[in-house]
Amino acid sequence: MARKRKKPILIIALDVESRHEALELVDSLRGRITYFKIGSRLFTAEGTGIVREIHEAGASVFLDLKFHDIPATVAGSIRAATRLGVWMMTLHTMGGVEMMKAAVEAAVDTANRDGRERPLLVGVTILTSLTGDDLSAFTRFDGDVSDLVVRLAGRAREAGLDGVVASVEETSRIKREVGQDVIVVTPGIRLAGESAGDQKRVATPRDAARSGSDYIVVGRPVIKAPSPVAAVDAILEELD
């Protein structure tokens, strides 16, 4: 008998301009959504205070700042984010194994010192706005994007990260070749018939569930909907 696959958990991306818009969306989805993503757009506008306010609203924060720098600098950023009490955060796998290891050590050490649970660390592989042609335009890469994504996922696991950010196209390969326990967070989710926008490797919630994604991240299809609540209900229904 085939193993029953659990359905992905929905994360709503707070890709909005202000604290007011973000908190209004969090409040409107209370009881439906537990996890919200804060990216560079909202974080730059509102700072660390918005993280605390979302926590106070009873939700958890996925801090998506995609840290990418020398190991010492990234470790410092990870320590600061861990002290904020975020549930999960991102860093770029392209920063290298030593950078990722430094991030893990910083998160573990800070969480232990503060007596808090360590945040999940997930490595961004190849952005879902990029294709193989895009990569070959500015690198010597001349292959299948999924091969590179799986290789980066393997490096992330080697460094001790909890998982990676990857498109639905690569998820099943990551689970099969890197490990079933590797968390896969999938952006670029669109309901059938919706515009892909600036995303190039997109998929539906049902596709993500079939591929084995653990979490799916949805922003514009909910934020731009006439009713964000109805949009979320439609996604949850499709996942069911």
- Residue identified by tokens 């909910």 is 222
Residues composing the chain = 240
| 70 three-class SS | coil
6 in catalytic set: no
Of the candidates 66, 101, 175, 224, the residue annotated as catalytic is 66
What b/e sequence results for 188-215 when a residue is b if at least 16 CB atoms lie within 10 Å of its CB, and e otherwise? bbbbeeeeeeebbbbbbbebbbebbbbb
The answer to whether residues 130 and 144 touch, using CB atoms and an 8 Å cutoff, is no
Among 170, 165, 161, CA closest to 37: 165
Return d(Cα 222, Cα 48) in angstroms, integer.
24
The enclosing H or E element of 64 equals strand 60-67
* Residues that are catalytic: 66
